[in-house]
A and B are shown apart, each in its own frame.
Chain A
Amino acid sequence: MISVAIDNKSIGITPVLGCVAFQVGAGETLAVVGPSGVGKTTLLRVLAGLDADFVGQVKVPERRAMVFQEPALLPWRSALQNLTLTTGIDESTAREALGEVGLSDFADRFPGQLSLGQQRRLSLARAFSAAPDMLLMDEPFVSLDVSLVSEMLDLTERLLASRAIATVFVTHAMAEAERLATRIVRLIGNPATLEDVIS
């Protein structure tokens, strides 16, 4: 369960987030939409524990994973090692995880030898291999073409359906939000606050 009650969050002297409060239960997916630069990534960094400089309270599970805007893989390690070294899982579990995202035949390839779509699938596999109780996704399908986005949405939906993970999914594409989320909120204003979106 994710429980967020941020009073305010500034970067330097610039206020970014105002009053932001929500809860996400296990198996639920909250989509956060909003214009670029409004503070969506800042919110995710606070949830991820990467930024502790805020006023308020955030309670998140210990086991967490994140899918970044860029695949953020280790280019000097193979696809398999990107899973084992980062998440600590053993090789056979990592091979299963690669199989789950359709990368069984690419275990020994370096990320640079994979297409962008394959790199994103590897990034997704890494996040799910960590067996997280909380998954944060920061516009993970950006800069993919339409058919690839649809393929990635199918895959993510399938991976989420078989697990009870509390997910926060940041996107600026409403269609993606509607596809994956159980609830959609919009981050808007300066400093940004949340409003519910009725889709």
Chain B
Amino acid sequence: MQPEADLPGNLPVAAISILALIFSWWGLAILNGDPTVLPSPWQVFPLAVSELLSGELLRHLAVTLRRVALAFVIAMAMGVAIGLLMGRSSGTDRWLDPWLIVFLNLPALVVIVLCYLWIGLNEVAAVAAVAINKIPTVVVTIREGTRALDRQLNDVAAIFRMSGWARFWHIILPQLGPYIASAGRSGISLIWKIVLVVEFLGRSDGIGFKIHLYFQLFDVGMVLAYALSFVVVMLAIEGLLVRPWEARATRWRRA
């Protein structure tokens, strides 16, 4: 969506911007003067390193990442399928649109609590709760993308008798690419936030569980150490996986 953001020239700007954020945080910590309420970056960083070296951070990080990945794959697969169906068929759209509005407006917390109550305090409920929260927003984005598909290319596919798979892979998917990337990018950021709430409320491992633990101990430093470690991981996923894939999928636009 923003090919300029992939240019190396933007890297120094991003680095300076992040440094400015860290120094602002430091400034606020100094102004506040109470490290139990707002520790400085230089107090949080050693905590994160110590948790990393003990193996505790990696263990909980891996658990949360697995939940994020599972929920992401389920939400994207179902969201793309339902969005395509609703975008292609006005009848299906008329029937499912009210459902979509209901699910879009259902608070994440309600879905999480109901999943735990109905399915139990287990992994299935945790992943299902996250996926159910995300599916409607993916559906909305993909439905818009499907409505914007080039009709003439559909005619080309019909006249030249392209197979259903070839049509999907070479005609539909490239057109939906930017919409899928947009849904995926907003999906990852939303999903990991919901995963933390899910873990906070009903799991005994994961970053959300650790945040819950240190919340009860009023240990702001450890809460920040765990939360920010995960932010770093998500930024790395965005930079190393999402953006390169997006750049590759849209290289024909810049050619």
A residues whose Cβ falls under 8 Å from a Cβ of B: 45, 48-50, 64-66, 68, 70, 72, 74-77, 85-88, 109-110, 112-113, 126, 130
The 4 closest A-B pairs by CB, nearest first: A76-B174, A76-B252, A110-B252, A110-B255
Stretch at the interface among B99-107, B119-127, B149-157, B184-192: B149-157
B118 CB–A CB distance under 8 Å: no
Asked if B153 contacts A72 (CB within 8 A), the reply is yes
Question: Cβ of B166: which chain A residues have Cβ within 8 Å of it?
Answer: 85
19 A–B contacts from the bound complex (CB under 8 Å): A48-B155, A48-B159, A49-B158, A50-B158, A66-B156, A66-B159, A70-B152, A72-B152, A72-B155, A74-B153, A74-B170, A75-B252, A75-B253, A76-B177, A85-B162, A85-B170, A88-B160, A109-B255, A112-B253
CB distance from A97 to the nearest CB of B (A): 13
B170 and A50 within 8 A (CB): no
Q: Tell me if B's interface is mostly helix, strand, loop or mixed.
A: helix
**B58 at the A interface (CB under 8 A):** no
Contacts of A85 in B (CB 8 A): 162, 166, 170
Name A72's contact: one of B156, B170, B174, B253 (CB within 8 Å).
Answer: B156
- In the assembled complex, the Cα of A87 lies from the Cα of B158 at a distance in Å of 11
A-side contacts of B153, CB under 8 Å:
72, 74
Interchain CB contact under 8 A, A68 and B171: no
Chain B minimum-CB-distance residue to A45: B155
Interface Cβ pair total, 8 Å cutoff: 53
Q: What is the bound-complex CA distance between A49 and B159, given in angstroms?
A: 8
Structural contact, B160 and A65, CB atoms closer than 8 A: yes
For chain B residues 22-60, which have a beta carbon within 8 Å of chain A?
Answer: none
Assembly CA distance A130 to B157 (angstroms): 12
List A contacts of B152 (CB < 8 A).
Answer: 68, 70, 72
Within 8 A of A (CB), among B134-168: 152-153, 155-160, 162, 166
Query: Which residues of the partner chain B approach A126 to less than 8 Å between Cβ atoms?
Result: 160
- Most chain B beta-carbon contacts within 10 A, residue among A45, A50, A113: A50
Contacts of A87 in B (CB 8 A): 160
Give min CB distance, B161 to chain A, whole Å: 8
In whole angstroms, what is the CA distance A74 to B171 when docked? Answer: 7
Option from A77, A86, A109, A112 in Cβ contact (under 8 Å) with B160: A86
Contact between chains at A68 and B170 (CB < 8 Å): no
> In the complex, A126 Cα to B153 Cα: how many Å?
13
| Interchain CA distance A85-B171 in the complex, whole Å | 10
Asked whether A74 lies within 8 Å of B159 as measured between CB atoms, the reply is no
A48, A49, A75 interface centre (most CB from chain B within 10 Å):
A75
Collect the chain B residues with CB atoms within 8 Å of residue A48's CB. Answer: 155, 158-159
Q: How far is the CB of A126 from chain B (nearest CB, A)?
A: 8
- Measured between alpha carbons, how far is A165 from B253 in the docked complex, in Å? 36
Asked if A74 contacts B174 (CB within 8 A), the reply is: yes
Q: How far is the CA of A77 from the CA of B175 in the complex (A)?
A: 12
- Please tell me if the beta carbons of A77 and B170 are within 8 angstroms of each other in the complex: yes
| Residue in contact with B159 in the complex, picked from A65, A110, A113, CB distance below 8 Å | A65
Which residues on B sit within 8 Å (CB–CB) of A70?
152
Q: Across the interface, which residues of A come within 8 angstroms of B155, CB to CB?
A: 45, 48, 50, 66, 68, 72
Report B-chain residues with C-beta under 8 Å of the C-beta of A88.
160
Looking across the interface, which residue of chain B has its beta carbon closest to that of A123?
B156
Other than the known A75-B253, A77-B174, A109-B255, what 7 A-B pairs have Cβ atoms closer than 8 Å? Answer: A45-B155, A48-B159, A66-B156, A72-B152, A85-B170, A86-B160, A110-B255
Cα-based distance from A75 to B250 in the complex (angstroms): 10
Contacts of B177 in A (CB 8 A): 76
* A113 CA / B155 CA spacing, docked (Å): 23
Contact A68 B156, CB 8 Å, known A75-B252, A76-B252, A85-B166: yes
From A75, which residue of chain B is reached at the shortest CB distance? B252
Instruction: Write the nearest CB–CB distance from A132 to chain B, whole angstroms.
Output: 9
Give A72 to B177 CA distance when docked, in angstroms.
Answer: 19
Q: Are B255 and A86 in contact (CB under 8 A)?
A: no
Q: What chain B residues lie within 8 Å of A49 (beta carbons)?
A: 158-159
B160 adjacent to A130 (CB under 8 Å): yes
The answer on a CB contact under 8 Å between B162 and A86 is yes
- Which A residues touch B171, using CB under 8 A? 74
Q: Which residues of B contact A65 (CB under 8 A)?
A: 159-160
